[in-house]
């Protein structure tokens, strides 16, 4: 049957031609000849019903000839075809006895395309793979155009390369972009392909067998059997392009040249070995991990035992190391512990145990948890101790003027160090204000006497009732290597308001009471001017003398400590402030204040402090506002003369004791020609002490061992081993010395500088510092 594409000189539409062809197929026609006139899609979509239909096309065929062609359909075109021949071919066999233009077999899946000439651009693109059918075949006798086989997924394309239009490149520009499957056999020169998608390999024997077997019918169909021998003479003339598998592609992803290779072969070769900074850097070029040890650590721990003072010792003017005392008690060395204190103070029972406000206890870290360590009681425990042993006699002679706390402390320390001490005292007692002024109820006589007698065991040359005049001073000065002035402050300061001559100086009153010359205050109203600690003592003593009322006045909030105040108030003392006294009328028994108020006063006692009597000193030794001028080491303006205690500035008994010890240390080094090394003055930072380790005590009963256990040993290693156990890396070990001493050390090659030792140390010994 013949179908005309042009009827009566008029072109048949593509729709009509398609209807005629489909009708012919339905009618069971087996051969059709179509004289085409540019119609679209000729010969496609003839769904097979077991029969075969062979279509011969002549005349100009339109685009998409044989598109969606099915098996059973065979099309022979007697000439060239337009674009997209065999588009989505599903099984038709198409023979083109001429060229195919662009897009031949685009999206083809099954069937065969035989091309007698060459192909245009984008041939064999988007071809498919379907395992239910035989693979697609596309045969090109000459060559193909650009962008061949893009996104090819299946089928076999053969490009024979006979008489190519472009003799240098038979596969066109950049074939196989995105190709993921199928095979291309080609014969002849090419200029590249998409290397990221496909590889070019030699034909295997199986390839060759397939090619040589299938090329014969192809050549026959296009009438080129003459070339058979040329095309099958050598397997080596053929090459094959196949897609990389996904696994192969993944393996090829990444750097074209490894960076390490680039560095050594290109970069360092260009800039010099070691890179652009090689000439400046001194360290290894290796890479460090985030966690490092040894010299590459950022931080390192240091065991700083006894480098800082605990709050108790730091705040104790006498620097008594209560933490050391506790440590000795914990080591079952109670006697050593109690004796230790005597190295710091001759009066632990009288001062620590009785009169001292115990600044150590106020500062005690333990107080943050429950109660401070009972240092007061621990002090009292030293009462019965004998005098400690003295060092070997040095032959040096020192004079101490004044046997109050400061003078006694200095003399005690100097004697301990082996020096000969001459102690001069104007009164006939040792003890100064401890003896003369502090009420007996605050400092029982028995205790003081006991400690004075211990003092006397030291073999100090005591010269009582020796008033030191200017002349005497010069004599003492000339006969001693060093003179220490600890004369205290015994002259009451008085405010010269009207009627002040009738006022009793407080210090005199206290002395009188202590020596039994008690005043008769029975049923009397007493006013004490000055509500400091001494004022409170006076108030108590006044009640003891029978006073019916005591009122203490002050121009400012009272400076007395709460304990002293409480004691006075408990007796009935009233404290008034601010009250500035204007006059005292003895006759009317009235004190009038500047604010116009007044108080009845049978007696007025003034207690606003005392100044020293220093009239015996030569001019070369300076005083200022009545006090002796000294530096922090107790040195006066004369290098041979030292000053301690209230003579230099008013203070607590413990201040006087501390000053005495420091002065003695300085005097010792000065006389012995040693270098004076000042004591550590740094207090351990409070946050370093891990109070959380301790449980609050449920009882305040004083048991000496328990007390020692309560001590948190601030800044002083209690040898608990917490650090050694905690260190994850086992970098810390305890090392014991010959004398039973110990230290904790760090193995630098194990330590990462994490700071756990410092963070968990109960005593705050470990310190983390920059590892430079």
Partner 1 sequence: MEPAERLDQNHELTLKELPYIIRWREDRCTRCGRCTAVCPVNAIEPTVFAQRVIHSEGPVPTPKTVRRLTQGVRQNVDIERYCTGCGSCSLVCPTVAIEPEYHPRHKFLTFKNKGGVPYKRGGRRNDPSPSTVDQLKFTRISMLTDPALDAGRHEFRIRTLLGRNLPPKKLPLEQKNGHLQVRKEPGFIPPVREIFPIRIGSMSVGALSPHMWEGLAMGVAYLNEVEGLPVVMCSGEGGMPPRLLKSRFAKYFILQIASGYFGWDEIVHAIPEMTEDPAAIEIKYGQGAKPGDGGLLMAYKVLNLIAKIRGVPMYVDLASPPTHQTKYSIEEAVAKMIQSMSMAWGFRVPVYPKISGTKTALAVLNNLARNPYAAALCIDGEDGGTGAAYNVSMDKMGHPIASNIRDCYLDLVKQGKQNELPLIAAGGMGKAGNLAANTAAMIMLGASAVDIGKYIMQAAADCFGDEYNRCNLCNTGRCPRGITTQDPKLYRRLDPDKVAERVVDVFKSADVELKKIFAPLGRSTELPIGMSDALGVADKAIADRLKISYVC
By CB under 8 A, name the binding residues for partner 1. 147, 150, 174, 177-178, 255-257, 259-260, 262-263, 266-267, 270-272, 275-284, 286-292, 296-299, 362, 367-368, 686, 690, 692-693, 695, 726, 728, 752-756, 758-760
Residues 6+ apart with CB under 8 A from 15: none
Which CB sits closer to partner 1, 313 or 328? Answer: 313
State which H helix or E strand residue 270 sits in.
helix 268-271
Which CB sits closer to partner 1, 303 or 584? Answer: 303
CB 771 to partner 1: min, Å: 8
Report whether 359 contacts 654 (CB < 8 A). yes
Q: What is the DSSP letter of 736?
A: E
Report whether 391 contacts 385 (CB < 8 A). no
Q: How far is CA 348 from CA 313, 381, 407, in A?
A: 14, 8, 16
Please give, one letter per residue, the 3-state secondary structure of 157-225.
Answer: EEECCCCCCCCCCCCCCCCCCCCCCCEEEEECCCCCCCCCCEEEECCCHHHHHHHHHHHHHHHHHCCCH
Q: How far is CA 87 from CA 67, 105, 135, 383, 607, in A?
A: 4, 5, 15, 118, 122
Nearest-5° angle of CA 63, CA 68, CA 72?
Answer: 115
Q: What is the DSSP letter of 241?
A: E
**Residues 455, 456, 462, 466: what is their CA dihedral angle, to the nearest 10 degrees?**
80
CB 256 to partner 1: min, Å: 5
How are beta strands 590-593 and 598-600 bridged, if at all?
A: antiparallel
CB 373 to partner 1: min, Å: 15
Which CB sits closer to partner 1, 59 or 178? Answer: 178
CB 420 to partner 1: min, Å: 45
Q: What is the DSSP letter of 634?
A: -
Q: What is the DSSP letter of 264?
A: I
Which CB sits closer to partner 1, 271 or 393? Answer: 271
CB 267 to partner 1: min, Å: 5
Cis bond before residue 578 (omega within 30° of 0) = yes
Which CB sits closer to partner 1, 364 or 605? Answer: 364
The full DSSP string for 429-454 is -SSTHHHHTS-TTTS-HHHHHHHHHH
CA dist., res. 29 & res. 51, Å (int):
9
Which CB sits closer to partner 1, 20 or 244? Answer: 244
Question: Which residues in 30-72 belong to E strands, given as ranges?
Answer: 31-35, 53-58
Which CB sits closer to partner 1, 651 or 759? Answer: 759
Which CB sits closer to partner 1, 282 or 738? Answer: 282
CB 157 to partner 1: min, Å: 18
CB 168 to partner 1: min, Å: 19
Which CB sits closer to partner 1, 728 or 740? Answer: 728
CA dist., res. 734 & res. 311, Å (int):
26
CA dist., res. 527 & res. 600, Å (int):
8
CB 698 to partner 1: min, Å: 10
Sheet holding 581-585, edge to edge: 581-585, 590-593, 598-600
CB 246 to partner 1: min, Å: 16
Residues 6+ apart with CB under 8 A from 741: none
CB 255 to partner 1: min, Å: 6
CB 522 to partner 1: min, Å: 43
Which CB sits closer to partner 1, 133 or 267? Answer: 267
Which CB sits closer to partner 1, 197 or 554? Answer: 197
Q: Helices 533-544 and 562-571, interaxial angle, to 10°? A: 20
Q: What is the token pair recorded at 51? A: 């029969």
CB 731 to partner 1: min, Å: 10
Which CB sits closer to partner 1, 506 or 764? Answer: 764
Q: What is the DSSP letter of 635?
A: B
Which CB sits closer to partner 1, 424 or 756? Answer: 756
Report the SS3 class of residue 261: helix
CA dist., res. 284 & res. 742, Å (int):
37
Which CB sits closer to partner 1, 401 or 732? Answer: 732
CB 19 to partner 1: min, Å: 29
CB 497 to partner 1: min, Å: 36
Q: What is the token pair recorded at 314? A: 């730091």
């Amino acid at each position: 049957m013949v179908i005309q594409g042009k009827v009566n000189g008029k072109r048949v539409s593509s729709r009509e031609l398609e209807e005629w062809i489909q009708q012919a197929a339905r009618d069971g026609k087996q051969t059709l000849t179509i004289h085409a006139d540019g119609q679209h899609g000729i010969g496609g979509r003839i769904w097979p019903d077991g029969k075969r239909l062979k279509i011969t096309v002549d005349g100009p065929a339109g685009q998409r000839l044989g598109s969606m062609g099915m098996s059973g359909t065979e099309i022979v075109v007697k000439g060239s075809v337009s674009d997209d021949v065999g588009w989505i071919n599903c099984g038709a066999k198409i023979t083109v006895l001429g060229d195919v233009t662009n897009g031949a077999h685009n999206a083809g899946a099954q069937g065969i395309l035989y091309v007698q000439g060459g192909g245009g651009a984008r041939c064999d693109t988007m071809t498919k793979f379907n395992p239910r059918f035989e693979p697609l075949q596309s045969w090109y006798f000459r060559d193909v155009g650009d962008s061949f086989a893009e996104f090819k997924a299946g089928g076999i394309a053969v490009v024979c390369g006979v008489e190519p239009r472009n003799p240098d490149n038979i596969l066109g520009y950049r074939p196989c972009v995105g190709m993921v499957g199928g095979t291309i056999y080609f014969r002849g020169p090419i200029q590249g392909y998409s290397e990221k998608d496909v590889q070019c390999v030699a034909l295997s024997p199986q390839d060759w067998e397939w090619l040589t077997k299938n090329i014969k019918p192809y050549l026959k169909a296009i009438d080129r059997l003459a070339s058979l021998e040329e095309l099958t003479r050598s397997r080596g003339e053929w090459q094959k392009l196949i897609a990389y598998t996904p696994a192969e592609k993944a393996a090829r992803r990444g750097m074209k040249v490894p960076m390490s290779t680039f560095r050594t072969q290109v970069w360092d070769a260009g800039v010099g070995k070691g890179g652009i900074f090689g000439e400046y850097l001194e360290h290894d070029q290796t890479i460090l991990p985030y966690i490092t040890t040894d010299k590459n650590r950022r931080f390192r721990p240091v065991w700083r035992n006894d480098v800082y003072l605990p709050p108790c010792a730091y705040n104790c003017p006498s620097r008594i190391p209560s933490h050391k005392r506790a440590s000795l008690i914990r080591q079952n060395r109670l006697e050593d512990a109690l004796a230790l204190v005597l190295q710091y103070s001759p009066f632990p029972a009288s001062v620590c145990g009785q009169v001292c406000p115990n600044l150590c206890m106020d500062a005690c870290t333990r107080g943050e948890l429950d109660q401070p360590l009972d240092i007061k009681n621990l002090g009292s425990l030293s009462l019965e101790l004998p005098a400690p042993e003295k060092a070997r006699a040095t032959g040096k002679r020192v004079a101490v003027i004044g046997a109050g706390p400061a003078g006694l402390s200095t003399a005690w320390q100097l004697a301990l160090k082996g020096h000969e001490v001459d102690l001069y005292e104007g009164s006939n007692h040792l003890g100064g204000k401890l003896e003369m002024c502090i009420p007996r109820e605050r400092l029982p006589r028995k205790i003081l006497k006991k400690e004075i007698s211990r003092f006397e065991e030291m073999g100090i040359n005591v010269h009582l009732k020796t008033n030191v005049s200017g002349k005497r001073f010069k004599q003492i000065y000339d006969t001693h290597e060093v003179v220490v002035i600890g004369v205290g402050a015994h002259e009451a300061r008085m405010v010269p308001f009207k009627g002040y001559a009738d006022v009793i100086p407080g210090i005199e009153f206290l002395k009188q009471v202590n020596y039994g010359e008690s005043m008769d205050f029975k049923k009397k109203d007493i006013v004490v001017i000055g509500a400091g600690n001494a004022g409170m003592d006076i108030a108590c003593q006044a009640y003891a003398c029978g006073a019916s009322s005591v009122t203490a006045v002050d121009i400012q909030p009272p400076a007395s400590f709460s304990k002293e105040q409480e004691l006075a108030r408990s007796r009935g003392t009233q404290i008034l402030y601010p009250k500035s006294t204007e006059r005292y009328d003895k006759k009317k028994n009235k004190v009038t204040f500047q604010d116009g108020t007044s108080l009845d006063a049978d007696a007025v006692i003034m207690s606003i402090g005392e100044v020293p009597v220093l009239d015996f000193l030569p001019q070369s030794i300076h005083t200022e506002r009545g006090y002796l001028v000294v530096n922090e080491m107790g040195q006066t303006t004369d290098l041979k003369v030292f000053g301690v205690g209230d003579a230099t500035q008013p203070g607590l008994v413990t201040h006087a004791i501390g000053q005495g010890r420091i002065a003695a240390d300085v005097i010792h080094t000065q006389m012995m020609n040693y270098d004076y090394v000042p004591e550590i003055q740094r207090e351990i930072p409070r946050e370093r002490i891990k109070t959380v380790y301790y449980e609050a005590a449920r009882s305040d009963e004083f048991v000496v061992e328990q007390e020692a256990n309560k001590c948190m040993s601030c800044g002083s290693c209690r040898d608990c081993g917490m650090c050694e156990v905690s260190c994850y890396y086992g970098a810390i070990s305890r090392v014991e010395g010959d004398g039973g001493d110990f230290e904790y050390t760090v193995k630098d090659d194990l330590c990462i500088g994490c700071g756990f030792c410092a963070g968990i140390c109960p005593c705050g010994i470990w310190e983390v510092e920059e590892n430079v």
